[in-house]
Amino acid sequence: MSKTLIYAHRGANREAAENTRTAFERALLYPIDGIETDVQLSRDGVAVLWHDRDLKKLGLPGKRIDDYDFRQLLEMDFAAHFPGVQPECVMALQSFVEAYRARCGLLLEIKNRSWEDIARQEMKVRQTLALAGDAGAGVLVSSFNMNSLVYAHGIAPAFPLVLNLEPEHTVSDAGRALDEHPFLHGLCVEISTLDVDMVGLLRGRGKSIAVYTCDSDAEIERALLLGVDILISDVPQKALRMREE
């Protein structure tokens, strides 16, 4: 790519509650290139945006997204953990894609949970791909779970799929993943693991490289100097300024 693209991590999450419409609208007040968000399922199988394993931020410790039907989630305040803002309901993935796919790039991270059965994980993948639409339309799908990506590739072989790596994953792990799953569009690595060797591996394979979550000046500068394709940040306005400089 001619320049590193800047993606807002769950929207402008330092200015509004993450993964809410307000956070996404605030992010788009800056000339960002895209938005990263997280996909989970309600109890009745509706794809919604939420990152955490539980609802502790909403004052519901021990409860999860999939403990509630979509209708019940709509009645909750998903901005309750962010002081001084108006209440907001959960956002459905369908509403998100319809509202933003024409305005910027989208990176949809499918969250898999250990307590989910395979059928629900596959349902989540199918819904995400169906809502994402045709390959090459400015939407990427990612996951830390390789099985989900393999299943997604079986459904939509041409769709760009990205494997997220944990901080403990090395260049050797990255190379092994690409060897075993050449269909991958690329990898999304944690900023602490980003170095010349990691970038060289991906560039040598003709793959894209994204990096999360770059917030400090040093992290943003490293990602920019190494020329990653997508830089995911909680402070996209800072990353944009540093990119221009």
Three-class secondary structure of residue 8 per DSSP: strand
Q: Dump pLDDT digits (tens) for 23-70.
A: 999 999 999 999 999 999 999 999 999 999 999 999 999 999 999 999
Tokens of 121: 């994980």
Q: Other C-beta atoms within 10 Å of 117: how many?
A: 8
- Residue 21 confidence class, pLDDT cut points 50, 70, 90: very high
Residue 136: which CATH number? 3.20.20.190
- pLDDT of residue 182 exceeding 90: yes
Is the pLDDT at 188 greater than 70, yes or no? Answer: yes
Q: How confident is the model at residue 220 (pLDDT cuts 50, 70, 90)?
A: very high
pLDDT on residue 112: 94
Average pLDDT over residues 6-30: 98
For residue 155, is pLDDT > 50? yes
Asked if residue 100 has pLDDT above 70, the reply is yes
Q: What is the model's pLDDT at position 2?
A: 56
* Average pLDDT along the chain: 96
12-21, 75-84, 132-141, 216-225: the lowest-pLDDT one: 132-141
Residues 180-190 have a mean pLDDT of 98
CB within 8 Å of 172: residues ≥ 6 apart: none
Q: How big is the chain by its Cα radius of gyration, in Å?
A: 17
Half-sphere exposure of 245 (CA within 13 A, CB side): 9
CB 24 within 8 A of CB 99: yes
- Compute the distance between CA of residue 162 and CA of residue 229 in angstroms, rounded to an integer: 12
What does residue 231 show for φ and ψ, rounded to 5 degrees?
-110, 115
Q: Identify the domain containing residue 24 by its residue range.
A: 5-244
The answer to whether residue 143 scores a pLDDT higher than 90 is: yes
Instruction: Give me the percent of the chain exceeding a pLDDT of 90.
Output: 96
pLDDT at position 1: 43
Provide the Cα torsion 216, 218, 221, 223; round to 10°: -80
Residue 135 reports pLDDT greater than 80: no
Domain count, the chain: 1
Q: Evaluate whether 161 touches 188 at the Cβ level (below 8 Å).
A: no
User: Are the C-beta atoms of 151 and 115 separated by less than 8 Å?
Assistant: no
Which of 182, 225, 180, 175 is closest to 202 using CA atoms?
175
